[in-house]
Amino acid sequence: MGNSDFRDDNPYRHGTTVSMFIINEFLNSQNNAVEIMPLKTHNANGIGDFFGIICAIHFAMAKGANIINASWGFYYYYQNQFKYFDDLINNILKEKGILFVTAAGNKFADEELIAREIYFAEYGINITDEQLRNLEIHHFYPADLSIYPNSVLTVTTTDGKNISPTQNYSSSYANLGVYADQDMKFEVPFPSDFPKEMISGSSFATAIATGVIGAFGKKNLLRLENIDKTELLHTLTLEDDTELSPAIMFNVPELEFKHIIKGTCTKKTSRSI
């Protein structure tokens, strides 16, 4: 943040874990390789600002990034005032053919308290627990930008029938669900001689989705002017049910009913060592 030190000082090694989830998806890729560009936008406590984020996005563009993984976001409650950032995400990234994969967001007790207070003050209603997970009601940024015809994909976690109860969903904003390994959690993506630790969060689902798309997507569909994110996903349609196959599945009725656009989901193609 503000210097050349990009080391992961988060106590949970959030950025390192996200990077490893992406890298692991390339283990079975026959055609694509990965280069990670680590750009630190948040401090050890997970706090960042628009200046750092915008600088990082421009740096990534300048250095030729094909996909930007944005495993971060924040709740907001009033009319959006982020005009420059909106233009950068909605228009400039799309024009340059850069895919922007971002997290649907997670449950945070403090944010829910704020949301409940605002909804009661504004509308005189008590917002429910389920509504707090709905991006169309409890807005999470930049996940909500995926409604536009841009290059934004919003990702959450699923078990194939439901969305994680601690993560956000939407039939308008959530583009992709990632199958969890167990109980809406993922195996920590590092070698270990001990029983696997499990972690949860839309940040990690986002990283897996980024990895799958990067590892198995057609490179000629990235860095195209006015990138078509829908076409890119459809080139990854699941053709068989092997562990190594590209894994985008469409029209899963349970997920469409449980609020993922067209019931679209993916699965990991690589297990941790």
Domain annotation covers residue 129: no
Total domains in the fold of the chain: 1
Domain annotation covers residue 5: no
pLDDT digits (tens, 9 = 90+) for 166-201: 999 999 999 999 999 999 999 999 877 667 889 999
Determine the Cα–Cα distance for residues 220 and 61; give it in Å rounded to an integer: 17
Determine the Cα–Cα distance for residues 10 and 226; give it in Å rounded to an integer: 35
Q: How many helices (H) and strands (E) does the chain have?
A: 9, 10
Output the pTM of the full model. 0.92
Determine the Cα–Cα distance for residues 118 and 128; give it in Å rounded to an integer: 13
Which of 123-127, 222-226, 238-242 shows the lowest per-residue confidence on average (mean pLDDT)?
Answer: 238-242
Domain annotation covers residue 194: yes
Q: What is the CATH number of the domain that holds 237?
A: 3.40.50.200
Q: Which residue, among 92, 1, 78, has the nearest Cα to 38 in the 3D structure? A: 1
**Parent domain of 230:** 14-106+140-266
What pLDDT does 48 receive?
86
Domain annotation covers residue 112: no
Q: How far is CA 177 from CA 119, 226, 258, in A?
A: 28, 24, 11
Q: What percent of the chain has pLDDT over 90?
A: 62
pLDDT digits (tens, 9 = 90+) for 29-73: 888 899 999 999 988 888 889 899 999 999 999 999 999 999 999
Q: Which residue, among 156, 150, 134, 39, has the nearest Cα to 86 in the 3D structure? A: 150
Domain annotation covers residue 167: yes
Mean pLDDT of the chain: 89
Residue 257 banded pLDDT, cuts 50, 70, 90: confident
